[in-house]
Chains A and B, each alone.
Chain A
Amino acid sequence: MLLDLAAPDFPWIALSVAIPLFAALIAALSSALAPVVAMIAALLCLGAALWTAVLVTTHGAQEVAVGAWPPPLGIVLRADGLAVAMLITAGLVSIAAFAFARQAFSARTQTPETRSAYSFWPLGLCVLAGVNAAFVSNDLFNLYVALELTTIAAAALVAMSGSRAAFEAAIRYLMFALLGSLFYLLGVVLTYSTHGVLDIRLLAISAESGPSTIAAAALMSAGLMTKMALFPLHAWLPPAHSAAPAPASALLSALVVKPPFVILLRIWFEAMPELVTPTLAQAFGALGACGVLLGSILAMRQERLKLVVAYSTVAQLGYLVLVFPLAGGGGAQQPWAAGAWTGAIFLTLSHALAKGAMFLAAGAFVEARGNDRLDSLVGLAREMPISCFAFGLAAVSLMGLPPSGGFTGKYLLLTSSFASGQWWWGIVLVVGGLLSAVYLFGPLSLMFAREPALAVTPVSRARQSIALLLGLLSILLGLFSEAPYRLLQVDRPGAAAEGFT
């Protein structure tokens, strides 16, 4: 047989990069075909990712040596549970974003072709290709290129609306991101020069912690923290994510900030777990906690919905790095291993789905009211119940209320924090949840208010339902969390269960 699609070693994960890339190129050639091509590519990506999930859970982690050159000479793409889970999420969010974008960015409805209708699709597909590449790659330098691809396409999406604020936000985003890239690249350079390898797995074998390894890890982490907008390097995120058009915001907030976190996990948990000292882990946690508190407080003070949602991303990303102090914090009492690590990834996944839903719902509100000021939300619960429901479901997941993926993640992290006696991180988790309730129930209350009546431009039910489906998925992730849990355990790094010792 020429193509054995069911073979456990069929390079599906390579396709999840190549397909959106190819689609981006086609979309750049023909803007008439672009929306269809983008949708097909995203569906194929999701299909490939789901099928890989099946393969990976039955046969274990999958590796593709690109060009049949094994590392250290070549680059290896690796599908472990974490990578596949992220690929599935990326597929889902991009399908939703592309479906929502069809109306606003369709060349068919706009002749002659317009700037945004042309450029949205190739850029969106480049983002998808870039994040997928970052999820599956196991090569530090290749990850750099993948991050750059994502960053440039993402910054262009920020600038897409063509307003002055959008250009400023995009420039600011790029300045931070490029600085982050430089730090990351410097770290990669030191790593290669010290160990002679770039492959994360090989690095794990050869890494002994000399001063250059420590410096490399620190520099790479600084770069990645900038790109994932971790406190205190978060200032670029809210203007950027709120300036973009809704489907682009969904891609940015749901996907673009995730690869840096995944790489951070891979570097510390897979490549250099022995470098993490308790002080370092607590320091990571402290940054995360500051991000949670500051992001939430700033989110409360915003008067525009998209800014609220964007600041909430800053807060939510803070939770993720709590994995560093909490990893391995479980006892014999817990029937699961690697609670904190799995919990952080659950939060990552559910944040992606929920934030995607929230930005798409916000996009629908903007279309209906013409702006995203909070006081324009009044009365929308009656006029646009579907979008409001989507926003509500996403809010439930972000607040970490049950049943939702956010709750599963928070429960696991919380258990680890109590089990390891680090109750202060537990307080951060609980208080963070309460703060998010404050800034998310505010907009929801306004939607239920009846006075004053405002003008509304109708938004089709089908398009509103897209956000609803994403929101529903973030809930279902918590209700049916066993399968995702099992997937994430495939080839989980040792440090995830044992902690850093």
Chain B
Amino acid sequence: MAGLSRRTILTAAAASPVVLRHARGETPIKIGMPVALTGPAGEIGTQMRHGAEFWAKETNAAGGILGRPIELIIQDTTGDPATCVRKAQDVVERDGCRLLFGMTLSSEALAVVPKLGEWNAIFMSSDNGDGRLTGSSFVPNFFRANISGPMETRVISLWLRQGKLGKFFALGMDYAWGHNSIGVFQDEVKRAGKTFVGDVYSPIGTKDFSTYITKIRQSGADGCFLVLQGDDNAAFLSQARDYRLQDKVQLITSIVDLNSIHAVGDAAIGLAGSTRYVATIDNPKNQAFVAAWQKQYNALPDVFEGEQYQACKMLQAGIEEAKSIDADKLRPALESAKIDSIKGPVAMRACDHQAVQGGYIVKVVKKDGAKFPVPEIVTTFPGDQVTPACRQMTFDS
């Protein structure tokens, strides 16, 4: 539950950073985090906040960065770009943050990014999927530690190349993310020598998907690519199950996350798709992370929690390398930052500030004893295959 005082969270409540600060006279590293905690994107925003808080606490317990404690300043944007800009301005101009996390929605990020230069602030994105942020809207102070939308789609298409499905339909939310992702998907399907039979876009906030389900059935496709999120995603999956759509068509989604699975329960079974992070990734770093996470939150870390943690680690690596949080010193350090992340090796690219990393395909299965279905990793693809060329949103091969 939300704490009442969030204005300033000296995250390690156990007083260690305070002690550190007094003992060494070190000023904290302030990181501003305007993030959607309420409103339709509140689910994702809340995950991002958990991820950042977990990292800050862990890092402060280990003595902070450069001996300085981390102070997160988290503000609710309600998922509204106008509010987001205001809050970002607040944490930068009032609280003096020169490092930013958050901006849950791509529309928020697109609104904030042009101001980074003026503020001389670095923004490390952990969830913005819009390809243009590292493409046409690129600015030098923006870094993306997470997998982008085009990368997700690429992972799926690489997987489909190996599979038996031959005819595809696509359903996306009627906004930039949906259109961009389906555009990439369409290219990839054709390149793989398979058929793309059509696409349709549902307005944000659609509650009744029966018409779209009819369209998918009529298309004769054996696979349907979904670019849906939040309430729309849950509504579609629930209703698709009601119509037994999964019996005829393999549903493939761009993001598989635990929250959605919990929201629709068994309707998620059989769903396949890419994921940005999943708790079952098999490496020691991740196992340690998951264990520590479970100890604190008594739950498995979800997609945006893992992604946020990775973004934090990326920023930390940059700061430690630069020995400074000044944007001009930090930027080159981040441009060559390489970390051994919970997802394995992840390297930031200097040319467009996109982190190169591997992608995962998961399938949702029912497991005995588990209350909800769980995603299982089907296959993984290495970073050099899933990351587009610099500042590009599409793939050449």
Q: Is this pair of chains taken from one and the same complex?
A: no
